[in-house]
A and B are shown apart, each in its own frame.
Chain A
Amino acid sequence: MDIARVFREEYGRAVSVLVRAFGDIDLAEEAVQDAFAEAVRRWPSSGPPPSPAGWIITTARNRAIDRVRRESTRDDRQAAAVLAAEDEGETEVVGDDRLRLIFTCCHPALAPAAQVALTLRLLGGLTTAEIARAFLVPEPTMAQRLVRAKGKIRDAGIPYRVPEDLAARLRPVLAVVYLVFNEGYVASSGRELVRDDLCAEAIRLGRLLVELMPEEPEVVGLLALMLLTAARSAARTDADGAVVLLRDQDRTRWDRDLITEGQALVRWCLKRGEPGPYQLQAAINAVHSDAATAAATDWPQIVALYDQLLAMTPTPIVALNRAVAVAEITGPRAALAIVDDLNLDSYYLFHAIRADLLRRLGWVEQAADAYDAAIARADNAVEREHLCRRREALTS
């Protein structure tokens, strides 16, 4: 029994259920952590229970009740919640508690950075240290951010519910889900390139959002984007775990089911005719997944989609990605001119892309410098090794 895996898969569900039952995030977290600690003590000798998730939730619920009874400092409101919780069925779930908790975590009354941190903490089960690393801030800073956000939810009375005016409250939710996906797709630190658990969680949340809001094109677009991106996951590393670039990938290893599903969603979006940033990025990925070989890629179509995206969201990251597509049509020199105008010095991909363009132009020395800059800024070990190999290949 892999308790770590159960933790990843069930932490968010358990916390969500407990938050609904007790209306207290800290209590919910403490109780769920207690339950997992108990699982670590018991399961190795007793064997796992038939339903590990149910066991965790039931144990956590009992622990929470014990805690509230023990701590006389908790107020009457919580004592009432305990009684209500005791009346409730074992693991009965009304609606999706996780969705409710996402909207709470992504409430616009919380700072955007806090929204992401809370979602990763409460729904993804990431530790404070992991979230701090993911967002490149010191751990105490992240801990303080989480404490403040939870305090505001409690003190300002931010409700645990899915808002009635969904469209208005959607933007931060989509942004957070996509950030979680990205953190999983290129883990910003550590040994693994892809953290499937985070990708899977983000896609699961994406599906849930589509189920709830089937008529919101950007919700559908985000799911399509994540599916089409995740479809390439298996081909992104070779047998040794090293990075394989899109143009070198074995396309037979792409997940056809995810591509089919993602492309169908993109077609639905096109028919809707209300393009948004997620839909456009999904469309770009749909074009990639259409090409049987890298050479068969419809680059003009991709540049046209990037033009539209850049008009809608004129960020340097979009401009950088567009430059990569431009390089395929007009060559590395035109792309380099675009890239050199961008102010992205702290972003490792900026330097990696520059390095590749310089390499293609035959400017070995400058390319090596750019690779060094990229290596210095890449926190993921697999990405760093890839960059080191590319740098070595320059001179050999």
Chain B
Amino acid sequence: MKQYLLSVYQPDGDLPPAEILEPIMQDLVAWNQELRDAGAWVFGAGLLPPSTATVVRVKDSELLLTDGPFVEGKEHLGGFTVIAAPDLDAAVAWGRRLSEITTLPIEVRPLQGT
């Protein structure tokens, strides 16, 4: 089995209102259970917004902290799941479900050494 990182990319800005977000979150819970039942779940987490991020950098042995995400963009990483799958087609099938649920693009990328 190889392992794949499924990254959820979401647009910057406010989250959709609760009536849209809640059913999505419920579907995500069900999808996570599906993954576990199939023995495909490895690790996963949703992330708080990029406004909560802090960038750590060391320059000449001195710690430099800056507010905000490292990359400024129109989209940001909203969450991720690591799955085990026999091949890319199987990983894409899980990614497809995740994209349907979140209505967002999903990047499927193999982990090194798996």
Contacts and interface: CB of A to CB of B under 8 A. Distances in A.
Interface of A: 107, 109, 155-159, 163
**Chain A residues touching B, majority SS:** loop
Interface of B: 2, 85-89, 91-92, 108-110
Given A156-B109, A157-B110, 12 more contacts: A107-B88, A109-B92, A156-B88, A156-B108, A156-B110, A157-B2, A157-B86, A157-B87, A157-B88, A158-B87, A158-B88, A159-B86
A107 B86 CA distance: 16
Nearest to A155: B110
Contacts of A107: 88
Contacts of B88: 107, 109, 156-159
A73 B86 CA distance: 23
Contacts of B108: 156
A109 B108 CA distance: 10
B83 to A, nearest CB: 12
Contacts of B91: 157
B87 A159 contact: yes
Nearest to A154: B110
A323 B17 CA distance: 54
A163 B89 CA distance: 9
A122 to B, nearest CB: 18
A105 to B, nearest CB: 14
B114 to A, nearest CB: 9
Nearest to B85: A157
A163 B108 CA distance: 19
Most A-side CB within 10 Å, residue of B87, B89, B110: B89
23 contacts: A107-B88, A109-B88, A109-B92, A155-B110, A156-B88, A156-B108, A156-B109, A156-B110, A157-B2, A157-B85, A157-B86, A157-B87, A157-B88, A157-B91, A157-B110, A158-B87, A158-B88, A158-B89, A159-B86, A159-B87, A159-B88, A159-B89, A163-B89
Nearest to A159: B87
Contacts of B2: 157
A109 B2 CA distance: 17
Contacts of A109: 88, 92
Contacts of A159: 86-89
B107 to A, nearest CB: 12
A107 B92 CA distance: 12
Nearest to B109: A156
Most B-side CB within 10 Å, residue of A156, A157, A163: A157
B93 to A, nearest CB: 10
A176 to B, nearest CB: 19
Contacts of B110: 155-157
A157 to B, nearest CB: 4
